[in-house]
Structure 1
């Protein structure tokens, strides 16, 4: 009486959206072409952080540095999270400025925790990113630093040197911009 139901497939396929110039992927999905007119959607489940919020004994040196001068640790994290678009020095200086003007640097740093979680599909734990930074600023920065370090980044050398060390971005999905050859000529 009724036509047979098609078998559900995983991942579900969807028609190619019209070309608008607006990116179609989000932090929790990516699209892989399967044919000329279809994409597959894969949902990524959030994974836990590689260390706990209070596991500072894993890296006592960074813990001490973060307690004394959190702007340095934040600058290193921000440079990697921004994939080199901002330098460690600029990000650290902005963090120090926000801390000096407002007394609450978590207003700035919590956005980078959210950015890291989106990039690496990490769980929002133990609570909201802003609350973690508001009540445990140093612990949150140390946890983010340890996460990046365990993912293969050498935090002391910055984004560009990490990309070069990893073979022009293989392994992290990053690319460097092409070098500029010379000025314009006629």
Structure 2
């Protein structure tokens, strides 16, 4: 028991600082309005956004139905940022998704496609 407690104490004393959790190292590989970078994604997002939402949800690892609800899209956008350490905020994710929904959906699809 004494050996276990001493090894546990060593782990606890080496806690990371809070700044280690907040380091963002990148940006989106394409901008929100760079829809012309992939015309198939753009056309799908412009004409059948729910279908593109299904694909984004599938590529992200969520239920396909998550791609149909705007609040789920906001959560997935935030999750993509966190997963790939992309700069931004939840507030920005929310505003961009609500006001530029098809463009944001296309950006997320391009990001997941380029990283998978």
What is the TM-score with the length of structure 1 in the denominator? 0.48
Q: Which has the larger radius of gyration?
A: 1
Higher RCO, 1 or 2 (CA under 8 Å, sep at least 6)? 2
Task: List structure 1 segments (4+ residues) > 3 angstroms apart after TM superposition.
Answer: 37-43, 93-96
- Selected match of 1:113 from 77, 82, 92: 77
Are 1:52 and 2:28 matched, yes or no? Answer: no
What is the TM-score with the length of structure 2 in the denominator? 0.73
Which structure has more strand as a fraction of its residues?
Answer: 1
Partner of 2:44: 65
Partner of 1:135: 99
Counterpart CA distance in 2 for 1:150 and 1:122 is: 14
Q: Which runs of 5+ in 2 are unaligned?
A: 1-9
Root-mean-square deviation over aligned CA pairs: 2.5
Counting matched residue pairs gives: 104
Q: Secondary structure at the match of 2:88?
A: coil
Counterpart CA distance in 1 for 2:72 and 2:14 is: 40
Which structure has more helix as a fraction of its residues?
Answer: 2
